[in-house]
Amino acid sequence: MDAECIFQKRLERRHDELRWLYMELYGNDSMFAELCDNLRLFYLERNEALRVLDSERETDQGWYKKNDMLGMMFYIDNFAGNMKGVESRLDYIQQCNVNYIHLMPFLDTPKDRSDGGYAVADFRKVQEQLGSMEDLDSLTAACHRKGINVCMDFVMNHTSEEHEWAKKARQGDGEYMSRYFFFDNAHEPSMYERTVPQVFPTTAPGNFTWLPDAGHYVMTTFYPYQWDLNYQNPRVFNEMMYNFLYLANRGIDIIRIDAVPYIWKEINTSCRNLPKVHTIVRMMRIISEIVCPGILLLGEVVMEPEKVTPYFGTLEKPECHMLYNVTTMATTWHTVATRNVKLLKRQLDIVNSLPKDYVFLNYLRCHDDIGWGLDYNSLMKEGVKERLHKQYLNDYFQGYTGDSNSRGELYNADPITGDARFCGTTASMCGIEKAGFEQNDQAMEKAIRLDVMLHAYMFMQSGIPVLYSGDEIGQVNDYTYKENPHKAADSRYIHRGAMKWELAENISNPDTVEGKIFHSLAQLENIRKREKAFVSNADTWTIDTWEPSVLCIGRYYEGEKIIGLFNFSEFDKTAWINEADGEYLELISETEMKPIAVNIPAYSFYYLKKK
Ligand code: GLC
């Protein structure tokens, strides 16, 4: 079939629904016709290699659910200086068993008002110091030759105040003002403020910014230099879809839709997760299926579980392919601090009961803070109060309570609500930083065990694991951000430090922290790749251990069964399980082990496979 034919067929299949949704939102025929014309142009612009990949993936729709999928996220400059540098480090990425890299925001952004790149000034230009669009083309092609998928952020909720549209809007050009939310007096902003919560209560209070030169308020949900786009304007939607497709055509495999719950605003609402957000995401999914069906949509929905899952859409009308397992992540650290797996077990049970087509990205931490969005209704039944508990968790991870070895800092501590989130690398939160500083070998050994156990547990969860670069060698907090006045107020930079390649040189030395962690993770990654019970849509469930500190997860796929036991306590514990259905082999030690009343050393784990 020739290209034109393929396009027409894909469009025909989805045209009616797309048109229906577009008309519901915009009722604008000519803009819809313009959109369709452009979809065709972007399709025709897509290179041959990508079109081949598209059709392979169209026939193998579960291509991303395999057990070898492992992600790693990093900032390009921190990881390897620039895009060319990343290209030269692909061997290391493969050595980490990683086949999906998330390149943190790399598009043009003002140097000092960038929010880590999440304030985009030009969606079609790479930050100069990182390279060019040609370098990106070359990097994605090099990745594809090695079977590595590339993920990038599509920051669609807002632009930088330096974006061409923003500059024109600021000069009073009505056409461009209508692409944002501009108000010449405080009336409407104050109406919004009544119902809209704050994202950065300390570092960027409020949801509007007064522009004295323009004599207007502009809506800025995040930082004052990130201007919210107005998707009620079809011009904004169309142009942003063209940007999205332009980037997809650079060979991007996974588009992370940044801050997606925020993209539709209405007065008298929280301006989060409104129904029209889903209309837009559904349209994006349809558009990508028409133009570039090989790509995946990853939604960034940092919300409670009942708000997250609707972003998968329905089986008939899917939206995102993948979402972050954010509540599980936060609950994991709650478990580390309390040595009690009850809440985590309940949380995993919720995730495990969802349709298997839902693919979650599992992670221990990312570039953002850890917000304590736990299931407080359940905790309350056990007498745990939200505010006090958050206080405890923040004290614990700052290393203030007696039995904590964690290091890290608060984030956006709100003096009014008493709320705060937390920042730190996995290694620092596990005690590696403290043990290293104190040169305490015993404490180090314990901290490494906790760190590895958490990874082993993460790999057992249903979905796809993603590492933060540096975690594979136990990199600790980086305090140098405090010396940069543009970063000092944002403690998220504590866990976004540059990759320490001199430490990575130790990965084959088993006497070093880096060697120990790297080797242990490699062992887990290889098991995961080899054992099909780790495919992301395997049956996954939890098993009661009758020991508060030990979590047990089972996985089953096509006749293969593996159970994982994870001891969250610094003491040896017994898991009172009784899986008397046959012989089992422990996969790390390769010894036989009966899954009946299993003794598990402090901060250790077992992977037991039924023979
Ligand atoms: C997302 C990003 C975060 C950024 C925000 C605003 O939540 O993960 O780093 O600050 O969006 O774009």
| pLDDT tens string 159-202 | 999 999 999 999 999 999 999 999 999 999 999 999 999 998 88
Bridge-partner residues for 578, per DSSP?
596
> For position 35, what pLDDT does the model report?
98
Q: How close is the Cα of 327 to the center of ligand 1, in Å?
A: 17
What percent of the chain has a predicted confidence (pLDDT) above 90? Answer: 95
Question: What is the rounded distance in angstroms from the CA atom of residue 588 to the CA atom of residue 88?
Answer: 32
Secondary structure (DSSP) of 23-86 = HHHH--HHHHHHHHHHHHHHHHHS-HHHHHHHHHHHH-TTGGGSTT--EEEE-HHHHHSSHHHH
Q: Which of 300, 419, 433, 451 is catalytic?
A: 300
Q: How close is the Cα of 272 to the center of ligand 1, in Å?
A: 14
For every residue of 259-299, which 3-state class applies, written as one string?
Answer: CHHHCCCCCCCCCCCCHHHHHHHHHHHHHHHHHCCCCEEEE
Cβ 336 under 6 angstroms from ligand 1: no
> Is 300 a known active-site residue?
yes
| pLDDT tens string 205-219 | 899 999 999 999 999
How is residue 520 written in tokens? Answer: 């242990």
Report whether pLDDT(1) > 80: no
Q: What angle do CA 584, 587, 593 make, to 5 degrees?
A: 35
Contact status, residue 100 vs residue 359, Cβ threshold 8 Å: no
Q: Which of 115, 253, 258, 319 is catalytic?
A: 258
> For position 203, what pLDDT does the model report?
85
Task: Write phi, then psi, for 542 (nearest 5 degrees).
Answer: -110, 155
Contact status, residue 327 vs residue 347, Cβ threshold 8 Å: yes
Pairing of strands 421-423, 591-592: unpaired
Q: Which of 258, 324, 366 to mutate to test the pocket of ligand 1 (most atoms within 8 A of CB)?
A: 258
Cβ-defined contacts of 271-274 (< 8 Å, 24+): 271/192, 271/195, 271/196, 271/207, 271/221, 272/197, 272/303, 272/307, 273/303, 273/307, 273/310
Question: What is the rounded distance in angstroms from the CA atom of residue 468 to the CA atom of residue 456?
Answer: 15
Question: What is the rounded distance in angstroms from the CA atom of residue 525 to the CA atom of residue 174?
Answer: 54
Q: Is the pTM of this model over 0.95?
A: yes
Q: How far apart are the first and last CA of the chain?
A: 48
Pairing of strands 605-610, 596-600: unpaired
Cβ 358 under 6 angstroms from ligand 1: no
Contact status, residue 515 vs residue 474, Cβ threshold 8 Å: no
Neighbouring C-beta atoms of residue 185, cutoff 10 Å = 10
User: Residue 367 CA: which ligand 1 atom is closest?
Assistant: 9
CA distances from 478 to 74, 78, 366, 385 (A): 15, 12, 15, 32
Cβ 120 under 6 angstroms from ligand 1: no
Report whether pLDDT(481) > 80: yes
Cβ 79 under 6 angstroms from ligand 1: no
Minimal-distance CA residue to ligand 1 atom 8? 368
Confidence of residue 434 (pLDDT cuts 50, 70, 90): very high
User: Residue 302 CA: which ligand 1 atom is closest?
Assistant: 7
Report whether pLDDT(415) > 80: no
Q: How close is the Cα of 118 to the center of ligand 1, in Å?
A: 6
Report whether pLDDT(204) > 90: no
- Please give the mean pLDDT across all residues of the chain: 97
Report whether pLDDT(253) > 80: yes
Report whether pLDDT(483) > 90: yes
> For position 505, what pLDDT does the model report?
97
> For position 42, what pLDDT does the model report?
98
| pLDDT tens string 95-106 | 999 999 999 999
Minimal-distance CA residue to ligand 1 atom 11? 259
